[in-house]
């Protein structure tokens, strides 16, 4: 099954939201059925990053790469990094993968590698 991360496009004013908003932050229209779901682009630029060492117990790694990426359409999102030596401004490519495992659930999100 192909998995995507979706943005929410306002039919009234074209504002694109990620994550979901119930009201448009551009025009304030009050009907959330006026949003179209659109798959977000996967290519972008790394704005900032960190490696987290004090992780929640379910992560079985010594440190976890996280970064904020500006996608090609201007949406900024947090994602995990599968990049050994990230640099601010580098080009990255995202794919949807498992980002957190809990007892009964796997959670999917964007994992970025060097483009």
Partner 1 sequence: MRDVFVAGIGITSFGRLEYPLAEIAAYPAMMAMQDSGVSSVDQVYVANMGGARLNHQTALASAVVDTLSLTPAGAATIENGPASGAAAIKEGFLAVASGMHDVVLVTGAERMREVNALDATDFVATLTHPIAEYIYGVTLPAHAAMFTRLYMDKYGVTERHLAMVGVKNQNNAMRNEFAHLQQPITIDGVLDSPEAFTNNPFVAEPLRFFDCCPVSDGGACIMLVSADVMKGLDRPAVRLAGVGQATDSHTVAEREDPTELPAVRLAAAQSFGMAGVEPQDVDVAELHDAFTILEIAESEEVGFFAKGEGHLALEKGETELGGVMPINVSGGLKGRGHPVGATGIAQAYEIVHQLRGEAGDRQVADARIGFTCNFGGFGNNVLALTFVREG
Binding residues for partner 1, rule: CB under 8 A, are 18-20, 47-57, 59, 63-64, 66-68, 76-80, 88, 99-100, 107, 109
User: Minimal distance in Å, beta carbon 60 to partner 1?
Assistant: 11
Give the DSSP H or E segment for 47: strand 43-52
Closest distance between partner 1 and the C-beta of residue 5, in Å?
9
Q: Which of 36, 10, 110 is nearest to 70 (CA)?
A: 110
Of 13 and 47, which CB lies nearer to partner 1 in the complex structure?
47
- Positive or negative, the CA dihedral 24, 39, 58, 85 is negative
Residues 114, 71, 25: CA angle, nearest 5 degrees = 155
Measured from the CB atom, the residue of 2 and 58 that comes closer to partner 1 is 58
Identity of the residue, 53 or 104, whose beta carbon is nearer to partner 1 in the bound complex: 53
| Minimum distance from residue 99 beta carbon to partner 1 (Å) | 5
Report the alpha-carbon distance of residue 86 to residue 63 in Å, rounded: 14
């Amino acid at each position: 099954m192909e998995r995507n991360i979706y943005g929410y496009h306002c039919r009234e004013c074209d504002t694109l939201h990620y994550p979901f908003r119930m009201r448009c932050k551009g025009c304030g229209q009050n009907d959330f059925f006026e949003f179209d779901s659109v798959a977000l682009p996967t290519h972008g630029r790394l704005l900032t990053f960190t490696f987290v060492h004090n992780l929640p117990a379910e992560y079985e790694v010594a440190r976890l790469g996280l970064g904020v990426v500006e996608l090609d359409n201007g949406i900024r999102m947090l994602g995990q990094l599968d990049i050994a030596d990230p640099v601010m401004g580098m080009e990255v490519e995202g794919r949807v993968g498992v980002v957190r495992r809990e007892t009964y659930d796997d959670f999917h999100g964007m994992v970025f590698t060097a483009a």
